[in-house]
């Protein structure tokens, strides 16, 4: 049953480029799978997409010149993932399950899958030795070559190797304690939690799914990566201030700001989509946040609502390419590179609106969960050049391998 669910989810992903985490959560929520089977399904889904280019490279000699249906190719890819990476599962069991899945399409498909997988089992893995260093890195870490070239140009080859290998590791189960309800010291009395070092409010969860824990359900913690937890404190909010969070969903940083303001003042939070705004409202309710006003609206048009120099502080956690969170969202690796170029004008426009709405002597933070310098360092350079009254107070890029966290960029600026 675990493989059936994995097959269905992967089929849907290849059909419409759906978000893995949403498809996986919906499938498992509606299933009657045991915990062990849910874990196996999750491993197969994420592992197959995380290693997709490598798996395609290994599969290619066995299907070369053949017309293979998308559904059958999905079965082959997920089976190769299990045979190469999941050593505790017997290969005969993987092949038998694969054949059974293929036979749902037709008997001949089952024979084809059986032949390919048994042939693969008999031969050594395909070597990458004859490829160039960057081509080999692209295949071995399943990052498209354009991304390897971009990282190499921006960070050098040594860091690119570290970044891409880290992207294929298991992300930490990090969370942030909600000090509106308890201190970190009080939470750490629960042995399921361990203290993290990067964020003073951060913890790691040691027992399965945080979202099903009592601490989460009671609002003592919220799920948030350590790097992300550094953004809200950087803004330096004070009690009673009027704060704008321009792109707030799902509310991790919004609620962090509220916590730092001790539920005083007002935080106006915006997002473009109704379903995302509901996530913010649900998070606020669970965490006991009282000072947030949530709105569905296009943040690039906020000057239609507010006068210039309205807010004491502004957080702009901008929509971005997400290249810092590839270990959590591996499907982003296969997005068209043009997506980034389409985002840059939006980021530029949002920064302009933030400048207009920020009070003189006010503070703003621009942050992204990407490590692409075109969206980060170069974006800030152009912004400061256009607005010389904006001064950079602090700027930081966190690469994923430095703390085994997400990759993140944050820049604190002062106006006037």
Distance, CA of 137 to chain centre: 22
Q: Are 387 and 355 in contact (CB under 8 A)?
A: yes
Please tell us whether the domain made up of 227-415 is placed in CATH 2.40.40.20. no
Q: Are 254 and 263 in contact (CB under 8 A)?
A: no
pLDDT digits (tens, 9 = 90+) for 380-409: 999 999 999 999 999 999 999 999 999 999
pLDDT digits (tens, 9 = 90+) for 198-228: 999 999 998 878 988 999 999 999 999 999 9
Length of the chain, in residues? 416
What pLDDT is recorded for position 142? 98
Predicted confidence band of residue 10 (pLDDT cuts 50, 70, 90): very high
| Average pLDDT value for residue range 135-163 | 98
What pLDDT is recorded for position 93? 93
| Average pLDDT value for residue range 134-144 | 98
Please tell us whether the domain made up of 2-122 is placed in CATH 1.10.940.10. yes
The residues annotated as belonging to the active site are 369
Strands in 221-223's sheet, in edge-to-edge order, are 193-195, 202-205, 174-177, 221-223
Predicted confidence band of residue 21 (pLDDT cuts 50, 70, 90): confident
What pLDDT is recorded for position 341? 87
Using CA atoms, how far residue 295 sits from 267, 280, 299, 300, 350, in Å, is 11, 10, 10, 13, 16
pLDDT digits (tens, 9 = 90+) for 273-308: 999 999 999 999 999 999 999 999 999 999 999 999
Query: What percent of the chain has pLDDT above 70?
Result: 100
Pairing label, strands 193-195, 202-205? antiparallel
What pLDDT is recorded for position 105? 81
Per the prediction, the chain carries an average pLDDT of: 95
Predicted confidence band of residue 26 (pLDDT cuts 50, 70, 90): confident
């Amino acid at each position: 049953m675990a493989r059936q669910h994995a097959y269905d989810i992967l089929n849907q992903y290849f059909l419409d480029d759906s978000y893995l985490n949403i498809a996986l959560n919906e499938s498992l929520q509606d299933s009657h799978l045991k915990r062990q089977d849910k874990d196996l399904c999750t491993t197969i889904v994420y592992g197959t997409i995380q290693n997709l280019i490598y798996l395609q490279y290994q599969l290619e000699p066995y299907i070369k010149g053949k017309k293979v249906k998308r559904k059958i190719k999905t079965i082959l890819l997920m089976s190769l993932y299990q045979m190469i990476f999941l050593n505790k599962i017997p290969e005969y069991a993987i092949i038998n399950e694969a054949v059974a899945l293929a036979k749902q399409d037709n008997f001949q498909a089952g024979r084809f899958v059986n032949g390919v997988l048994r042939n693969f089992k008999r031969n050594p893995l395909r070597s990458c030795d004859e490829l160039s260093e960057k081509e080999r890195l692209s295949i071995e870490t399943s990052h498209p070559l354009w991304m390897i070239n971009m990282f190499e140009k921006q960070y050098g080859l040594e860091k690119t190797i570290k970044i891409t290998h880290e992207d294929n590791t298991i992300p930490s189960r990090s969370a942030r304690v909600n000090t509106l309800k308890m201190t970190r010291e009080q939470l750490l009395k629960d042995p399921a939690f361990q203290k993290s070092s990067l964020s003073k409010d951060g913890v790691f969860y040691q027992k399965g799914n945080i979202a099903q824990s009592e601490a989460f359900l009671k609002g003592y913690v919220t799920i948030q990566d350590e790097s992300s937890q550094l953004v809200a404190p950087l803004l330096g909010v004070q009690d009673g201030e009027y704060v704008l969070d321009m792109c707030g969903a799902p509310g991790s940083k919004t609620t962090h700001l509220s916590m730092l303001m001790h539920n005083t003042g007002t935080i106006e939070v915006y997002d473009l989509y109704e379903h995302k705004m509901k996530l913010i409202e649900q998070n606020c309710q669970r965490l006991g946040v009282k000072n947030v006003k949530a709105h569905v609206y296009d943040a690039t048009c906020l000057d239609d609502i507010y006068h210039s120099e309205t807010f004491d502080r502004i957080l702009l956690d901008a929509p971005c390419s997400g290249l810092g969170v590839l270990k959590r969202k591996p499907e982003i690796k296969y997005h068209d590179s043009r997506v980034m170029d389409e985002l840059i004008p939006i980021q530029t426009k949002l920064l302009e609106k933030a400048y207009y709405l920020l009070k003189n002597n006010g503070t703003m933070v621009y942050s992204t969960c990407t490590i692409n310098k075109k969206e980060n360092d170069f974006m800030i350079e152009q912004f400061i050049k256009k607005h010389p009254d904006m001064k950079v107070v602090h700027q930081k890029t966190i690469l994923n391998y430095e703390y085994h966290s997400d990759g993140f960029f944050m820049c604190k600026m002062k106006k006037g």
